[in-house]
Amino acid sequence: MRLIIAEKPSLARAIADALPGSGKRQDGAIHCGDTTVTWCLGHLLEQAAPEAYDPADKQWRLDRLPIVPQQWKLMPRSKARGQLAVIRKLIKQASEVVHAGDPDREGQLLVQEVIDYMKYRGPVQRLLISDLNRPAVSRALASLRPNAEYHPLFQAAQARARADWLYGINLTRAWTLTGRQAGHDGVLSVGRVQTPVLGLIVRRDNAIRDFVPHPFYPLWVDLKVALGQLRAWWAPKEHQPLDDQGRLIDRRPADALAAQLPGASGQLTQLDQQEKRQAPPLPYSLSALQVDAARRHGLSAQVVLDICQRLYEQHKLITYPRSDCRYLPEEHLPLAQRSLSGACQNDQALQQWLKGADFSLRSKAWNDKQVGAHHAIAPSGKPADFSQLSATEGHVFRLIVRNVMAQFYRPLRTFEVKAEFTLLEEAFRARGQSILDPGWKPLFTTRDESPPLPTLTQGEACQALGAAVEEKETRPPEPFTDASLIKAMMNIGRYVDDPAVRRTLRDTDGLGTEATRAGIIETLVQRGYLVRKQKALRATKLGSALIAALPSAVSTPERTALWEQRLRAISEQQDNANTFQQALLDDLRGLLSHSDAARLRNSLQTAQGEAGGPVKRASKPRNRYSKKKANSKGSRKTPVQ
């Protein structure tokens, strides 16, 4: 008997539907001739709690840290024991096992750890499915690979899980116990991803709080040229009183120049005119979709992820959503017209977009070299029944279809002009844009970025009609929103001070993964470290106090981003999981030596004083390694990082 172990029931049903045989469901499995399909319920196993290694560690004590298991143990989740018993019975009868976890690092871990836990030693094949529709599943079933090929991916996932345990257990215990010494009665949770994310927000909030505005004074002049009029802006010379962004901070020179300008003659001294072509935006990765859905529809990252899971599993309208890739396989190109036609079938707006598509075009999105374990999110081709979709599900589905549809629209062609005029020996600059061919742009917006300028000729004369000085004020940085925070997590190198580290991170994964970013934000909210104020994400007093008390290395993104880089190297057999863990332990011991009750007490008091009220006690997070585990029925979520 061949046994296929899927990651979740919905995937198991899709596999069974594509297999020959009756597909009889019985006792936690679906029987299809000589093949049986069973499933996990997300993670069936979890890392054992510290007391499973030594009963003395049930009590939290500083002198017991760091806790380092010598032989790692996995424990069944409390509500997963029934399904584990089903798999155990079936795997004893199996002559071959097929691993059907999701096509990513966590999916590789989730099923393989169950196979290993059962001590199965027979042949194991790997089934990779990113689209739950029957034709796609049938193609995947015909393309099984040896599971051994994906062992490095499993090693990377396992290293991540163990490292998160070591980091989270030890630092959370250390700072919680230090917090008690400082007078704080509550758990202070620390994680290798969640804490740097909190640090980003705290530092942004501090920058907003400490921001001191100052005025600046732009000067404009309206110019008459041969074929019309335009407005140009003064570009002060460096000897003028300027801020670090080149803005004039003393009004007097601007007023003096504005008084002289009306009626003055000048000349167009520099003219840069060029046609530009802009390719359509690529199809979505999950994070890119979360950013756009937050901006356009005000949806949180977690809501977008939940919607995508329903569109994928329940409605079968899209391909695998937890993707970090924005490219599509070249073999999908010939099928695109059919899948987009199906996706657009029951929606008037999508039908209009479909009419404008030219399927003879090929964009840069179709590139096998850019596709890894999974490809960009795309419509599956199944017609959508919008009466069965919520309004927000419809919004997200249209975004996904739109970005794939855009690949069959012409590039946006614009004519851009930059002009510099000289009057009274001073430079005045103007810029404009005209659209030659809107291409894909109407699918995204009907707004022009900047108005066109009159037709200009190098060296032509100009005359000032009028001028004025405006008084403006610098503004503080914007608080983070779901959209800007996800984008920051994707591009974390921008928030790193060290130039060498920034260069290293430029082309690597960001903070967290596609599958975990939304959950990290929600966890910080649930634990009382963040609060949503309209669309803004702001740190609470407790969140600010914790960041102030921790060593900066714990709350800045360098470490966790470099972790992701090393984990990727392990998955590509360019690094070793044991050396990675040893480096982590050396780092961890150094961090534990910095737990300081006096520093924490001071930061808690400072946060209270600044905010004018008591620091709210953190709600105690569920022990993610305890036997009384919430949400163990079907959670695919990894332990909070």
Distance CA 44, CA 570 (A): 24
Can you tell me the mean pLDDT for 202-220?
Answer: 96
| pLDDT at position 221 | 98
The answer, yes or no, to whether residue 426 has pLDDT greater than 60, is: yes
User: Which tops the pLDDT comparison, 76 or 497?
Assistant: 76
- 123 pLDDT band, cuts 50/70/90, is very high
Distance CA 316, CA 49 (A): 38
Domain 215-277+411-473 grouped into CATH 3.40.50.11720: no
Structure tokens at 482: 């779901």
pLDDT tier, 131 (very low <50, low <70, confident <90, very high otherwise): confident
Residue pLDDT, tens place only, 145-171: 999 999 999 999 999 999 999 999 999
Q: What is the mean pLDDT of residues 504-514?
A: 71
Query: How would residue 629 be classed by pLDDT, with cut points 50, 70 and 90?
Result: very low
Of residues 270 and 183, which shows the higher confidence score? 270
- Could you tell me what percent of the chain has a pLDDT over 90? 74
In the block, tokens 């599971």 appear at 147
pLDDT at 243: 92
Look at residue 448 in the predicted model and tell me its pLDDT.
61
pLDDT band at 637 (very low <50, low <70, confident <90, very high): very low
Rounded mean pLDDT, 301-327: 93
**What's the pLDDT at 449?**
65
* Top-level class of domain 286-408: mainly alpha
**What would the mean pLDDT of 78-93 be, rounded to a whole number?**
94
CATH code for the domain defined by 157-210+478-611: 1.10.460.10
Cis status, amide bond into 66, omega within 30 of 0: yes
pLDDT band with cut points at 50, 70 and 90 for residue 604: confident
Higher pLDDT, 566 or 98: 98
| Per-residue pLDDT at 373 | 66
For residues 431-456, average pLDDT: 88
CA 583 to chain centroid, in Å, comes to: 27
Answer whether residue 434 shows pLDDT above 70: yes
pTM assigned to the model = 0.83
User: pLDDT grade, residue 590 (50/70/90)?
Assistant: very high
pLDDT of residue 216: 97
Q: What residues are labeled active site?
A: 320
Residue 233, SS3 per DSSP: strand
Angle at 633 between CA 316 and CA 145, to 5 degrees: 55
- Taking only the tens place, the pLDDT of each residue in 241-284 is 999 899 999 999 999 999 999 999 999 999 999 999 999 999 99
Dihedral (CA of 479, 294, 161, 165) sign: positive
Quickly list DSSP for 521-578.
Answer: HHHHHHTTSEEEETTEEEE-HHHHHHHHHS-HHHHSSHHHHHHHHHHHHHHTTSS-HH
* Half-sphere exposure at residue 410, Cβ-oriented, CA atoms within 13 angstroms: 11
What is the model's pLDDT at position 167?
94
pLDDT category at 606 given cuts 50, 70, 90 is confident
Q: pLDDT-derived band of residue 446, with 50, 70 and 90 as boundaries?
A: low
| The residue count for the chain | 641
pLDDT in tens, 392-425: 999 999 999 999 999 999 999 999 999 999 999 9
| pLDDT number for residue 510 | 74
Beta bridge mates, 275: 415
Domain ranges of the chain: 2-143, 157-210+478-611, 215-277+411-473, 286-408
Instruction: List helix spans (H) across 41-133.
Output: 81-93, 105-117
The C-alpha atoms of residue 100 and residue 107 are separated, in whole angstroms, by 8
What mean pLDDT is reported for the chain? 90
The β-bridge relationship of strands 426-437 and 536-539 is: unpaired
What are the DSSP calls for 459-488, one per residue? T-EEEEEEEEE--EE--PPPPPBHHHHHHH
Going by pLDDT thresholds of 50, 70 and 90, the confidence category of residue 295 is very high
Judge whether residue 298 has pLDDT over 70. Answer: yes
Structure tokens at 15: 């596999």
Among 423, 424, 339, 428, CA closest to 376:
339
Say which residue the tokens 């975990």 belong to.
516
CATH class of 2-143: alpha beta
> 328: Cβ–Cβ under 8 A, 6 or more apart, which residues?
283, 365, 366, 367, 371, 375, 376, 378, 404
* Mean pLDDT along residues 354-369: 95
**Each residue of 333-343: pLDDT tens digit?**
999 999 999 99
pLDDT band at 611 (very low <50, low <70, confident <90, very high): very low
